[in-house]
Structure 1
């Protein structure tokens, strides 16, 4: 979203030896915690889990993108919210499959906008919400290159 969006981003995730899952995340000068819920053995629920962060990333990018669009159009948005849900389910063409591997990840995004808008404006903002950079990244063919090193 920022002007530096084409630069390579570096984020650190540190899981110290004395922690089971509580991980310190740093991005520039910002520090966050991630953890597993207490329902997972060893989880202490000290922070959102990794899928929560994925949804938060998609949600923040989406509302920022829609807000930028609305501002350019001169549309006054009173407030904007995103509710996101993630689950794994069988693809529509595989409703009777018994194989657990046939499930796909599904993210549901609900954009809630307060303001005086026509249905046409709301429909356009919904279209724009699907164009945020994180949404496009998640929907694209992606490569993740993994390396390992020792310290």
Structure 2
């Protein structure tokens, strides 16, 4: 899969990412732009993965989860030192026992993006396309 990022205006800071035929705006945070910025999408990927993973698991196991909201809190104060902290807070709605709530919390900790961010050696290469 390829995600395409295109600049909206020459020399501007607003871009559009296209993934699976869906357009997503990319900008800089205020005062340079209106956001969301690339960090927001990184953090969003974690929260979205947790929400989807928990929902699918609950459906498969017959757990009476009605809805889930996920807040992802970022602490990037030490990012320049190599530490980027994310805290996901789950709000589960439904007639859930304490045991089911703990089970769903455990499942959220094993979502694919969480594993990707914490257990995988992600290798990134950057290259130039051939000149037109």
- Residue-by-residue CA offset, 1:16-68 (whole Å, 9 max, x unaligned): 452421011111211111101222xxx231x4111111121111111110011
* Structural RMSD (CA): 1.8
Q: Identify which of 42, 64, 72 aligns with 1:76.
A: 64
Q: Identify which of 42, 52, 55 aligns with 1:67.
A: 55
1:141 aligns with 2:129: no
For normalisation by structure 1, the TM-score amounts to 0.77
Q: Distance in 1 between matches of 2:8 and 2:67?
A: 39
Moved over 4 A (4+): none
Q: Quote how far apart the aligned CAs of 1:13 are.
A: 0.8
* SS of 1:136 mapped into structure 2: helix
Q: Quote how far apart the aligned CAs of 1:116 are.
A: 1.5
- For these two proteins, the number of residue pairs brought into alignment is 130
- Residue-by-residue CA offset, 1:127-148 (whole Å, 9 max, x unaligned): 1101111111111221112212
1:44 aligns with 2:33: yes
Gaps of 5+ in 1: 1-8, 91-99
Q: How do 1:1-151 residues align onto structure 2 when only pairs under 5 Å count? A: 9-39=1-31, 43-45=32-34, 47-89=35-77, 101-139=80-118, 140-149=120-129, 150-151=131-132
For normalisation by structure 2, the TM-score amounts to 0.88
Is 1:84–1:107's contact at 8 Å kept on the other side of the alignment? Answer: yes
